[in-house]
Amino acid sequence: MTTPSAPPVPRFRGIVPPLTTPLLDRDSLDQAGLERLVEHVLAGGVHGLFILGTTGEGPILPHSVRRELVRRTLAQVAGRVPVLVGITDTVFSESVALARFAVEHGAAAVVAAAPYYFPVGREPMERWARTLARALPLPVVLSNTPELVKLVIAVDIIRQLADEPNIVGLEDSGGDLGVFDGYARIVREVRPDWSLLIGREQMLPQAHGLGGHGGVCAGANLVPSLFVKLHAALEARDDAAAAVLQGRVLSLGRLYDVGTQPCRVVVGIKNALHEFGICGAACAAWAEIFDAGKRDEIAEIVAEITADSLRDKPKQVPLAADKQ
């Protein structure tokens, strides 16, 4: 009698934070800040790390800084969780070269959004994805980021690409749950081995309900355990706990509205990390610099976040020696 084979398991699931990139200035990595940030996020129980994404300002960092970040992050993580490396670039050969560098240092996969600057049509989009997948030494997760690349990766294109063995999943930051649902149908019907992750953290419960496997949640740079607990509650179908945790996620999102200009999510996170004492607020992007009033707003929100985090910690049980 033949034993039925187990269903395919997605390679990546859970909370995979898009790690911000601590900088001393626009062109210099903050090595100590990176070490503190990696340990802070891993201590929160995350299921992976994603470096050089949008939150990590990957496409606008010098190539030397990208490689230094890859090398140092992978050396520090040392296999504790899988690390995904963003290789989005306008130059195809640069994407492939960074992927080769990443595999040499132990990356689990790469993440690629469509080429930007020059618009890409539907047929060239599919051709780009196939050519990239076949050229890479690592599995690739495709990223739908229409706000930045001015292109939605259409559901029917993804269905066409489902025959590419080196494509292992999708990260969707488009914010359109109809598109996400279309991706989810393809995963269910054609590629159950694919990972499907949502990039808009406030949509994590809806994405889970549609069949998503987790989230690339920027706020997990700050309070990783909050997102890990929310994911666990969703997996356990604990609606009451999930509702409470989702409320805290939405409250945390106030950090992203302190700024009024583009890149305000990255700027909000970096200023909050500065308040936490993890790294400075320097950005690679030509982003808004917060004045004293906005920094005070960030400090108030961080104080609330810290209070919530302390409240969630289990009470310390005194050791026998402490009772004497």
pLDDT digits (tens, 9 = 90+) for 265-286: 999 999 999 999 999 999 999 9
Q: Residue ranges per domain, the chain?
A: 14-234
pLDDT for the residue numbered 322: 36
Q: Provide the pLDDT for residue 119.
A: 82
pLDDT digit string (tens) for 207-231?
Answer: 999 999 999 999 999 999 999 999 9
- CATH homologous superfamily of 14-234 equals Aldolase class I (3.20.20.70)
Whether the predicted pLDDT of 130 surpasses 90: yes
Beta pairing, strands 23-25 & 28-29: antiparallel
pLDDT digits (tens, 9 = 90+) for 160-176: 999 999 999 999 999 99
Sign of torsion, CA 61 107 109 253?
A: negative
Backbone angles phi, psi at 23, to 5 degrees: -130, 145
Per the prediction, the chain carries an average pLDDT of 92
Other CB atoms within 10 A of residue 323 CB = 6
Q: Determine the Cα–Cα distance for residues 212 and 217; give it in Å rounded to an integer.
A: 13
The amino acid that residue 90 corresponds to is T
For residue 71, name the pLDDT band (cuts at 50, 70, 90).
Answer: very high
- Regarding predicted confidence, which is higher, 3 or 277? 277
Give 11's DSSP letter.
Answer: S
